[in-house]
Amino acid sequence: MQASGESVQIGDAGAVGAALLSWYDVNARRLPWRTPPGGAGSEAAPDPYRVWLSEVMLQQTTVAAVRAYYARFLELWPTVEALAAAADADVMAAWAGLGYYARARNLLACAREVARRGGFPRDEEGLRELPGLGAYTAAAVAAIAFGERAVVVDANVERVVSRLFAIGEPLPGARAAIRAATDTITPDTRAGDFAQAMMDLGSSICTVRGPRCLLCPLADHCAARAAGTAESYPVKAAKQAKPTRTGTAFWIERGGAVLLVQREGKGMLGGMRALPDDGWSARADGHGTPPIAGEWRTAGMIRHGFTHFDLELQLMLCRSADCASLPPGEFWPVDAVEAAGLPTVFAKAARLALANR
């Protein structure tokens, strides 16, 4: 393995791009948001709205998980203008279960700005001005939708390039070196195809475990393969244990309907419908007191993992409550609660409540 900060130089960067694109022309994945190889920058160029929507959904989420959500969004909002005109609650409900809910809030803000401008900017600089578009998404949309040369680096690309150049610095510190190395092999033409080819290579050939080096079109250029150390890259810093938070959610039922509240627009699960709770998002430990007087009983506990912490959420049920002191919200039919668009943690709590009715 190379020393931290060092990398192997590839003699013919053009050969890397040519080999990868030839492989992609034959092996490109068929995905709902993609056009066939060679589409970017041509008459068959993909719709920027669809490219942007898919890239936002795919952040830290698998292709398999995104397919149904992507189809549903296009069914409800087939254009960026339609999405811009949508109600916040409807979009948040349609996003429920996909996770990382700040993406949905940014999606709406961006759609409204694009509609106001009359369309998407074509280049990275202009795309970075839109709400919620970071370096990766701006580069991906510029390259894939508009055929602009842009350096696109996601987790798959990080893995491929760190092995190709044997970049030994641990992540996340290695990201600057990985991006610089990716820049050296990104071609001036077909940058979108190149980016998608790198993603496909990482997902199907240059996998986290058991990379299929004998089938890789870049095997002859790969420093890690030559050294027999492919699985050692990318180098990752030791993970820190996630803390566990505890809290309580409350199922308040009346006349076959359950009380749902809308969370604050910012912060954890912002803007989503949810069960009332004790504010666990700001708590380190402890269980809350029911928000109203009534006949309460404990239904059990659900566990849910967030990015930076794990949550143990106690569920309490109440069917006879002092309705005069209810927190603001709406009563939703219990038999249709799955259609309320609850985020996963509260959907789990709802299923537990239904099992205890």
**Which residues participate in catalysis according to the annotation?**
55
CA-CA distances (angstroms) from residue 141 to 47, 172, 237?
10, 23, 30
Given a contact cutoff of 8 angstroms between Cβ atoms, the answer to whether 292 and 321 are in contact is yes
Cis geometry, peptide bond prior to residue 291 (ω within 30 degrees of 0): no
The Cα–Cα gap between 246 and 229 comes to 42
Given a contact cutoff of 8 angstroms between Cβ atoms, the answer to whether 167 and 233 are in contact is yes
What one-character-per-residue DSSP string does 69-105 give?
HHHHHHHH--SHHHHHTS-HHHHHHHHTTS--THHHH
Q: Which residues contact 105 (CB under 8 A, 6 or more apart)?
A: 88, 92, 132, 265, 270, 271
Given a contact cutoff of 8 angstroms between Cβ atoms, the answer to whether 134 and 124 are in contact is no
The Cα–Cα gap between 168 and 157 comes to 15
Could you tell me where the beta strands, DSSP code E, fall in the chain?
244-254, 257-262, 273-274, 294-305, 310-321, 330-333
